[in-house]
Amino acid sequence: MRRLSLSPARSLLVAAAAALVATPLYAQSAASGPTRITDTMDLFIGLDGSKQPQDLGINANMGARFSGNFGVPIAKSAGLGAQFGLGVNLSDAAVHVLDQIEGTSSRQQTYVTFGVFQRTDRKINWGIAYDLLFEHYYDSFTLGQFRGQAGYKVTPHDEFGAWVAVRTQGDDGVMGTTPVRLDPITQGNGYYERTWSSFARTRLWAGVASGHDNVVWVFPANTRSSPVFVYGADLHMPLNDRFAVTGAANFLTPTATGTVDAYLGVVFYPGHIAMHHAAQDFSPLLSVANNPMFSVNLKR
């Protein structure tokens, strides 16, 4: 089995985060904006479930998710900020097949998201980020994608926009003794978001993905579905000024061979901004990457 050393990449990301926190630009902007990183930080713990083409048509994964995300000002007067986030999924196989064929019964995923975003006085918001996935499964893989979002508030409570994920980096590995290739799946979605009187936010989206292989590992031939319809939703429901219930789900059709991804849990806001998270200029606009916004295809 191929082993991939990730320590240099992780060391670089940790150094970049430390430099971002210590930079004088942050200190200067913070004087008239956030005074601590915890003012724009969120910490998540919950459950994650996933089935994608990379699961070979014979497995799915269920487990725990932990993540943290924070934003810092770059140009306060323009509402321009930077964000950095880290998420970890620790999952076990939800189907008793892969472990019988190859021996794998668990999966570990580490997601890193960093980017820039802006909220303007003209009711416009946008953000672009790079997502990295370090995955240890039936082999070790490093994958990457760009993700972007842009929205416009037609009323104080209603927003329309779009989000996209664009493949940039795939990786080769083996499943047992068979060579395989994993690649992020490019997709684009239009969304509608509603902020309710309780400060809860719900968002629905639909769009198109570039396609995926219809993999069933125990059968030799694989067809391909391309392009495919995508739909999904997310929610953010504050419980008080510190805690909120949040989650997301995304589905690439046909779901029998596409994706069925979802997570749900509780997010903690040290800065007491749970009820007004989306309205804070320098709170991260994009969530830390996870399976619902990082679909992965497999070729063999």
125 burial via Cβ count (<10 Å: 0-12, 13-18, 19+): buried
| Centroid of chain to Cα 297 | 16
Question: How sure is the predictor about 33, in pLDDT bands with cuts at 50, 70 and 90?
Answer: low
Question: With 80 as the cut, is the pLDDT of residue 2 above it?
Answer: no
Q: How many Å apart are CA 109 and CA 63, to the nearest integer?
A: 11
Question: How sure is the predictor about 4, in pLDDT bands with cuts at 50, 70 and 90?
Answer: very low
Q: How many Å apart are CA 163 and CA 286, to the nearest integer?
A: 10
Question: With 70 as the cut, is the pLDDT of residue 151 above it?
Answer: yes
pLDDT at 279: 78
Each residue's pLDDT tens digit, 89-98: 999 999 999 9
Question: How sure is the predictor about 59, in pLDDT bands with cuts at 50, 70 and 90?
Answer: very high
> Helix, strand, coil % (nearest 5) of the chain?
15, 55, 30
The residue ranges of DSSP E strands in 76-227, in sequence order, are 80-93, 106-119, 124-136, 140-153, 158-169, 171-175, 178-184, 187-195, 201-209, 212-214, 223-225
Each residue's pLDDT tens digit, 158-170: 999 999 999 999 9
Among positive and negative, which fits the CA dihedral 159, 278, 239, 84?
A: positive
Domain ranges of the chain: 7-299
pLDDT at 297: 98
Question: With 60 as the cut, is the pLDDT of residue 47 above it?
Answer: yes
Q: How many Å apart are CA 61 and CA 90, to the nearest integer?
A: 9
* Tally of CA atoms within 13 A in the half-sphere of 98 that contains its CB: 24
The class that CATH gives domain 7-299 is mainly beta
DSSP state of 258: S
Alpha-carbon separation of residue 30 from 38, 103, 121, 135, 238 (angstroms): 12, 51, 19, 35, 26
Question: How sure is the predictor about 34, in pLDDT bands with cuts at 50, 70 and 90?
Answer: low
Each residue's pLDDT tens digit, 75-88: 988 899 999 999 99
Region 253-276: mean pLDDT is 95
226 vs 28 pLDDT, higher one: 226
pLDDT at 276: 87
The whole-chain average pLDDT of the chain stands at 90
Region 126-144: mean pLDDT is 98
Question: With 60 as the cut, is the pLDDT of residue 68 above it?
Answer: yes
